[in-house]
Structure 1
Amino acid sequence: MGTTANSTESTGRLTTHVLDTMHGKPAAGLSVALFRITGDDRELVLTTRTNSDGRCDAPLLSGAAMVPGVYELVFDVAAYFREAGVSLEEPPFLDRIPLRFGLSNASQHYHVPLLVSPFAYSTYRGS
């Protein structure tokens, strides 16, 4: 295959997907914040909400914004479960879940899924 003028641009992206394991469905309307970490500094990159499929409508990072480094996603799970009608203790066992991770290659797709209930969560590097 031939190359194009855009072949040197980053094709990588950062995405997430949140699944509500308590109710067995995507976590729609969950607030997500993305931070860039530099040393002890934490810079807010964006905030968004998940759609009806538990995904964000656009990549969290892509193109020129897809810069290698350390990042943190913060998922506001207590607010999500309260809005879903779940009675939580005060303070809730899980409130905001921070996931700190590294992006080493701006041309790769990094997918950070979160499986969550009011009392447990898991994550992995997805595809």
Structure 2
Amino acid sequence: MTFKQLLLAGALFSAATLAAANPLSVHVLDLQSGQPTAGIKVTLEARAGDNWRTLAANVTDAKGRIAALYPEDKPFAAGEYRIVFATGEHYARQGQSTFFPRIPVEFNVDKTDQHYHIPLLLSPFGYSTYRGN
């Protein structure tokens, strides 16, 4: 193996390790087409009393995923969290109307040593979500 190949393999391993170590990931699938939904803005918030505090934001990749949504520089704390999927922006780009401009998904973290995966199954007039793995 050449030095360049070793560097590339190390970089890929490091990226995969960091993503696997991150405690929170999301995935968006379009129920009409059965395809991943790229370009959805996703915001992670934590409950702070009666308000929500933004922790991170990212956009789904070509596979409809954000593999590492939780901020790397913060310890993963137990508490209430909310992920907001900006679906209205996606459908506006498609020239299609939707009933849900934003989809907030609230969830509790009680075991900080576990990974939390939140898939969103999306259509213009409905959605479904669950805790995945």
Q: CA RMSD in A?
A: 1.6
Q: Which has the higher strand share?
A: 1
1:33 to partner: Cα distance: 0.5
- TM-score (ref. length: structure 2): 0.78
Of the three residues 89, 103, 116, the one matched with 2:109 is: 103
Which SS does the other structure have where 1:23 is aligned? coil
Residues 39 and 98 of structure 1: CA distance in aligned 2, closer, same or farther (over 3 Å) = same
1:44-65 Cα deviation digits (max 9, x unpaired): 0011100000001x41126643
1:28 to partner: Cα distance: 0.3
Is residue 47 of structure 2 the alignment partner of residue 41 of structure 1?
Answer: no
Give % identity.
Answer: 39
Write the mapping of 1:22-101 to structure 2, written as runs, cut at 5 A: 22-56=32-66, 58-61=67-70, 64-86=74-96, 88=97, 92-101=98-107
Gaps of 5+ in 1: 1-10
Query: Is this contact kept in 2: 1:12–1:66, CA < 8 A?
Result: no
Which SS does the other structure have where 2:90 is aligned? helix
Query: Is this contact kept in 1: 2:56–2:71, CA < 8 A?
Result: no
Amino acid at match of 1:50: T
Q: Which has the higher helix share?
A: 2
- TM-score (ref. length: structure 1): 0.81
Q: How many residues align?
A: 112
Residues 34 and 62 of structure 1: CA distance in aligned 2, closer, same or farther (over 3 Å) = closer
Which SS does the other structure have where 2:44 is aligned? strand
Runs of 4+ in 1 over 2 A off after TM superposition: 62-65
Where relative contact order (Cα < 8 A, 6+ residues apart) is larger, the structure is: 1
